[in-house]
A and B are shown apart, each in its own frame.
Chain A
Amino acid sequence: MDWILEIFAVSTLLATIRMALPISLAALGGLFSESTGVINIALEGIILMGAFAGTIVTNATGSPLLGLLMAIAAGLGMALIHAIASVTFKANHIISGVALNLFATGATFFLALVITGGSQISVENSLPKFLGLSPVIYVTVAIFFLSGFFLYRTRLGLRLRATGEHMAAVDSVGISVTKMRYIGVLISGALAGLGGGYLAIEQANFFTKGMSAGRGYIGLASMIFGKWTPWGAAGAASLFGFSQALQFRISIPFVPDEFLQMLPYLITIAVLVGAVGRATPPAEDGNHFIKEG
């Protein structure tokens, strides 16, 4: 019965926090993007890019801080391409996202081979731990508090949310829909990029090909399960982080690991079909703004 004790162990809690972190940043990123009505499934590729860029810069400069900043910059770069394709050029949001994910998979593997000759690169430095946890974790908690405030209490937050619900209304009062959408998508790229940087520099201490391993999609799942609110997303990401932590630490009798792997996706479908409470996505999700006249 050791596995029951293990579930409640402090080490499991810490593992949960570590596992949940990149997921929660991706979820929050997805939320910012979708709050302006742009679906961003490129989160997966952005995490991967962030992880790679962070690794390279950390190793090149010896500064994990610069590495994390580079991860954010890489995320912004990917997000910018997504915004250009799906907002300015009105590409289907999903297709643009798929293309970016394919790109990130190929490009990071390619560059890893070119730069180091292998598909795995170890990270030499990470930030000093604070109370046993990476400082990025505390920063992320602060980001969540700020995001809640930003989205619901500030002028720009209101405008972003309005854009995701009714673009024509936003346009009719003289706010640029395009600008709002760029802001939403770029914030999402910065957050997911940071998540990727954390994953490689702070959590795994290495980069390897395909290391995002579905975290971007689990982030999307968290966003949906969290009903498109920051705290809901954080809660869902924690739950999914917990199930990942368990997979690595213990094996629960009669529950195969694969089932725990499926859990986030099964829950998301359950939410979507209304079995676990209804969640309504922003009304303009996936739509394009076509100005009249």
Chain B
Amino acid sequence: MKSERRSELLFNVLMNGVAPIVAILIAFAIGGIVIISLGTNPLAFFSRMFSLNFGTLRGVSQMIYRATPYFFTAMALSFAFKAGLFNIGAEGQMFIGGLALAWVGFTFTWLPFPILFVLCLIAGFLGGALWGAIPGYLKVKRGAHEVITTIMLNFIAIALVQYLVQNHFMNPEWGIPHTPSVAEGAYAPSLDKIIPWFPSGTRANIMFLVAIILAGLTLVLLNRTKLGYEIRATGLNPNSAEYAGINISSRTVMTMAISGGFAGMATANFILGPGSHYFLKSEYGGIGFSGIAVGLLGRNNPLGIILAAILFGFLENGALGVQLYFPNVPRQIVEIMQAIILIVLVIVLELARKFLKRLQKRG
């Protein structure tokens, strides 16, 4: 009996602790080799990156700003995972949600803060939820696999958003297609307005706190509510869920909607936070796909995802800053590292699983 508890612990440590860390270390090692081949000292490179992020509160603040959207797109993947669904449509859900929240922000301009701000978030959630519910519905009603439909809906969303912005929301005189700016009532307060000792003038904003609150709420939802129980049951064993009288179809659609809703709020960080305050499609591309890596690296756990998102924010923010010091190393080095983290992670997880199985077999 004790050995069972020990093996459960070992499982958790290996799969949720060792595997992600090994993946990260290997990605840094490969990144380091690439940097050496460019004639740069990787230790100097990475330590500069580290001090840019953690050396000052300002750095931390910028890192948080970069990390925040990843949390949302990663949650989109991971929440769907809980119900056994593979939502790789965060990219499209993010665009639809983003346009929806921007629209509310520049349309209901007379509304004051925080009403407009909250309405914008709700609109973002609902836009993403709608875009997520479609593949859920198609799966339930017509058996269309959500992996393919979410991929296809990503591209449909991109084209749709482009069409709407260019033909309906845009002033033709602007060079780059973007929407009008949201009203002040929709602005997300920057973190220094809430946390007094935080440095001012960075873009880190309340959306980071919203992410942390949502992580907590998600844990409560999954583990303490009836709905969460049913979602997990559906994901772990649909046959048994059916036996238990759970309406699998409705849970599937609902899970996809909530999942899409998370992605729909991802761009609030950019649109409502300090900065341009309008929806600019080209600024967000890829965050949905990177969210897949973040979600898996966070082992599909909301708290793990916060850590993984911070790592991605660390890399991205560090890459932007470090260019001043090492101009011969393009900042895309971190994109390569992010991809390597993901691919190494899945391999290490399988190795860990095999190792545990062998251990179990030996008794």
Contacts and interface: CB of A to CB of B under 8 A. Distances in A.
| In the complex, A touching B (Cβ < 8 A) | yes
Contact of B155 (A39, A109, A261, A273): A261
B332 A272 contact: no
Interface stretch (A88-96, A149-157, A167-175): A88-96
B162 interface: yes
B215 interface: no
Interface in A253-285: 256, 258-259, 261-262, 264-266, 268-269, 272-274, 281
A239 B336 CA distance: 35
A220 interface: yes
Contact of A273 (B144, B162, B346, B350): B144
A13 interface: no
Contacts of B153: 265, 269
Contacts of A269: 138, 144, 149, 152-153
A91 to B, nearest CB: 4
Nearest to A272: B144
Contacts of B151: 41, 217, 220
Interface stretch (B42-50, B63-71, B233-241, B288-296): B288-296
B286 A105 contact: yes
Interface stretch (B117-125, B195-203, B337-345): B337-345
A41 B145 CA distance: 14
Contacts of A109: 330, 332, 335
B163 A258 contact: yes
A235 interface: no
- Which among B148, B160, B162, B350 has the greatest number of chain A C-beta atoms within 10 A? B148
B358 interface: no
B131 interface: no
Contact of A214 (B144, B155, B160): B155
Nearest to B163: A258
Contacts of A259: 159, 163
Of B143, B145, B160, B336, most buried by chain A (CB within 10 Å of CB) is B336
A21 B346 CA distance: 33
B174 to A, nearest CB: 18
A269 B139 CA distance: 11
Contacts of A113: 330, 332
Interface in A125-165: none
With most chain A CB atoms within 10 A of its CB, the pick from B143, B156, B328, B351 is B156
Contacts of B144: 269, 272-273
A91 B293 CA distance: 13
A84 B138 CA distance: 32
Contacts of A7: none
Per DSSP, chain B at the interface is helix
A106 B335 contact: yes
A84 B145 CA distance: 25
Nearest to A217: B151
Contacts of A94: 86, 88, 147
Given A95-B346, A217-B151, A272-B145, A114 B330 contact: yes
A102 interface: yes
A265 B343 contact: no
Contact of B339 (A100, A214, A217): A100
B167 interface: yes
Contacts of B335: 102, 105-107, 109-110
Interface in A70-96: 81, 84-85, 89-92, 94-96
A185 interface: no
B142 interface: yes
B332 A258 contact: no
Interface string B319-363: 000000000101011111011101100110111000000000000
Nearest to B286: A105
B38 interface: yes
A103 B350 contact: no
A94 B86 CA distance: 9
A15 interface: no
A107 B346 CA distance: 20
Nearest to A95: B346
Given A85-B346, A96-B346, A272 B333 contact: no
A107 B340 CA distance: 11
B332 A103 contact: no
A229 interface: no
A41 B147 CA distance: 10
Given A91-B350, A262-B160, A272-B142, A110 B148 contact: no
A252 interface: no
Interface string A210-250: 00001001001100100000000000000000000000000
A281 B151 CA distance: 16
Contact of B290 (A41, A102, A221, A224): A102
B289 A273 contact: no
A258 B162 contact: yes
A106 B155 contact: no
> Would you list the 6 A-B pairs with minimal beta carbon distance, nearest first?
A106-B335, A103-B339, A91-B346, A258-B163, A110-B332, A272-B144
26 contacts: A39-B147, A84-B347, A85-B347, A89-B350, A91-B347, A91-B349, A94-B88, A99-B342, A99-B343, A103-B336, A103-B340, A106-B332, A106-B336, A106-B339, A109-B330, A110-B333, A220-B148, A220-B151, A224-B148, A256-B167, A258-B160, A258-B162, A261-B155, A262-B159, A273-B138, A273-B142
Interface of A: 39, 41, 81, 84-85, 89-92, 94-96, 98-103, 105-107, 109-110, 113-114, 214, 217, 220-221, 224, 256, 258-259, 261-262, 264-266, 268-269, 272-274, 281, 286
Given A100-B343, A106-B336, 7 more contacts: A81-B343, A90-B350, A95-B342, A106-B332, A113-B332, A224-B148, A273-B141
